């Protein structure tokens, strides 16, 4: 299978950034996209809402269902899943993309921020997976894809920002566990992570601004890699911690220049690589 035509994707955090890029790539195939995100009104520092994302998805050739979802709220998740099934007849793919970040040390991380990261990253991923799984079991090629890193248990990734690392690795542990738990039912569960920093609003606002953006790649590299994963047979490709560049090399891509924010600029490696 090389297309997502007619497939239904439930994507968290799909109003902007990597989530929206994955949605648009699937939309070009003619997929149905549930935009599960919080932003309904324009934000001065965060471009895009669930409604502007829906317009872009439909313009790209897909069908869109914008749903107001805070993935810390179980009732909102289940309401969006029910609406997705009512609208499109089922769910084939879940992309756990929504995430919160704070690169702060133990003493500098308020428990409110700790709870936010764990509530969105780890708990939200688990909750969305739990809600979608009954419908994924009915799909002919079901996938869960988490935007989370390889489980790199080196102290250097914990020391500077242990709370964030724990929260992101919680998403990756969901991959490790659920891939094993559901392999006999043919549900693929994989992780995808970028080799370099990706130019997103979080990078612009929290992680270095324009200078970091210069050394970044566009979200489209993650979208193209996600597409390559999500079109693989679910029974034979599961439990993998994928890196975007490696996935694309595996399908014959050798030139990554088109993804650079600034052509020729030195690229910054992402965390956990």
Supply the residues annotated as catalytic. Answer: 164
If one counts every other C-beta atom within 10 angstroms of the C-beta of residue 74, the result is: 14
Which residues is 196 bridged to in the sheet? 269
Distance of alpha carbon 220 from alpha carbon 248, whole angstroms: 12
> Coil, helix or strand for 174?
helix
Both structure tokens of 17: 């950034």
Count H helices and E strands in the chain, helices first.
Answer: 10, 7
Enumerate long-range contacts of 73-80, CB under 8 Å, 24 or more apart.
74/127, 74/131, 77/36, 77/127, 77/128, 77/131, 78/131, 80/10, 80/34, 80/36
Dihedral in degrees, nearest 10, Cα atoms 211, 153, 96, 228:
80
């Amino acid at each position: 299978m090389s297309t997502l035509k007619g497939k239904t994707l439930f994507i968290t955090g799909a109003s902007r950034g990597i989530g929206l890029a994955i949605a648009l790539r699937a939309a070009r195939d003619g997929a149905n996209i549930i935009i599960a995100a919080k932003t309904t009104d324009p934000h001065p520092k965060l471009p895009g809402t669930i409604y502007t994302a829906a317009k872009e998805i439909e313009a790209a050739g897909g069908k869109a269902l914008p749903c107001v979802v805070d993935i810390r709220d179980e009732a909102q998740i289940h309401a969006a899943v029910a609406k997705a099934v009512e609208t499109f007849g089922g769910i084939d793919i879940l992309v756990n993309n929504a995430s919160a970040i704070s690169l702060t040390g133990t003493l500098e991380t308020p428990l409110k921020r700790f709870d936010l990261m764990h509530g969105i990253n780890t708990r939200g991923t688990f909750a969305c997976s739990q809600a979608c799984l009954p419908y994924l079991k009915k799909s002919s090629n079901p996938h869960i894809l988490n935007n989370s890193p390889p489980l790199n248990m080196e102290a250097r990734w914990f020391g500077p920002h242990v709370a964030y690392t724990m929260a992101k690795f919680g998403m990756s542990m969901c991959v490790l566990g659920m891939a094993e738990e559901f392999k006999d039912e043919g549900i693929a569960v994989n992780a995808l992570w970028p080799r370099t920093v990706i130019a997103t609003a979080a990078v612009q606002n929290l992680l270095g601004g324009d200078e970091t953006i210069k050394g970044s790649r566009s979200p489209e590299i993650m979208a193209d890699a996600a597409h390559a994963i999500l079109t693989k047979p679910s029974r034979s490709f599961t439990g993998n911690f994928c890196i975007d560049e490696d996935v694309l090399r595996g399908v014959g891509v050798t030139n990554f220049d088109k993804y650079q924010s600034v052509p020729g600029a030195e690229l910054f490696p992402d965390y956990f690589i």
